Chains A and B, each alone.
Chain A
């Protein structure tokens, strides 16, 4: 089946630094990738939709200057958390839509971000 990877799986950083998270579709092309955020014992909340070669679409309440998204190729999207603060600590999960199979979305294993 289709595989989506995320890197890193865990990251701990100091407040004020920026952190980049990569999401890759390993064996399929993804024109659209999605970034979700999940707090402990809560559901996944869609942050933004990342389209290859164009600007990301952010959900209401998500700061685009805070969470920079780049979808440079059909297999890679990156999320950069800029000037991270402790309240940005969360589990970030990406998903990728296989352009060859309609709406099917495959999820990555997630990245645990801890901001000290």
Chain B
């Protein structure tokens, strides 16, 4: 079935550092979404991307929809302790189903 691969699997950084993570697929996706999940909670939408090449920001977060439509990246600038969590990319491979990536665990040391 469809699969989205995220890297890195985990990151341990110092407060104030910038972070970059990416997501790749063997198939073309029409929409890329980035979510953050805190422990014991459901995922919360951070950024949605709808067009190839699109670059979108949400505060300290920036994400881009790859030109090939098979990849996307998420950058977090000047990380803070509350950025800790698991970040998932997700994409629609048909009009109805959202498929999640493998996740990137982010730990931020104050």
Which residues of A line the B interface, CB within 8 A? 4, 6, 32, 34, 36, 41-46, 49, 60, 91, 93, 95, 103-110, 112
The residue that B96 contacts in the complex, of A32, A36, A107, with Cβ under 8 A, is: A32
Q: Is B98 an interface residue (CB 8 A)?
A: yes
Chain B residues near A93: list those with CB within 8 A: 42-43
Chain B residues near A110: list those with CB within 8 A: 40-42
With known contacts A43-B88, A43-B102, A60-B1, A112–B95 Cβ distance under 8 A:
no
Within 8 A of A (CB), among B77-108: 88, 92, 95-103, 105
With known contacts A60-B1, A103-B31, A103-B92, A43–B44 Cβ distance under 8 A:
no
Complex contact A34–B98 (CB within 8 A) = yes
Chain A residues near B92: list those with CB within 8 A: 103
Interface class of chain B by DSSP: strand
In angstroms, Cα B100 to Cα A11, docked, is 25
A42 nearest in chain B by CB position: B103
Q: How many A-B residue pairs have CB under 8 A?
A: 48
A57 nearest in chain B by CB position: B96
Q: Shortest CB–CB separation between residue A86 and chain B, in angstroms?
A: 20
The residue that A112 contacts in the complex, of B35, B40, B99, B103, with Cβ under 8 A, is: B40
Most buried by A among B40, B43, B88, B95: B43
A108 nearest in chain B by CB position: B42
In angstroms, Cα B103 to Cα A46, docked, is 15
The residue that B97 contacts in the complex, of A4, A42, A49, with Cβ under 8 A, is: A49
In angstroms, Cα B101 to Cα A46, docked, is 12
Between-chain CB contacts (< 8 Å), 24 pairs: A32-B96, A34-B97, A34-B98, A41-B105, A42-B103, A43-B103, A44-B43, A46-B97, A46-B98, A60-B1, A91-B40, A95-B42, A95-B98, A103-B31, A103-B92, A104-B45, A105-B45, A105-B98, A107-B35, A107-B43, A107-B45, A109-B41, A110-B40, A110-B42
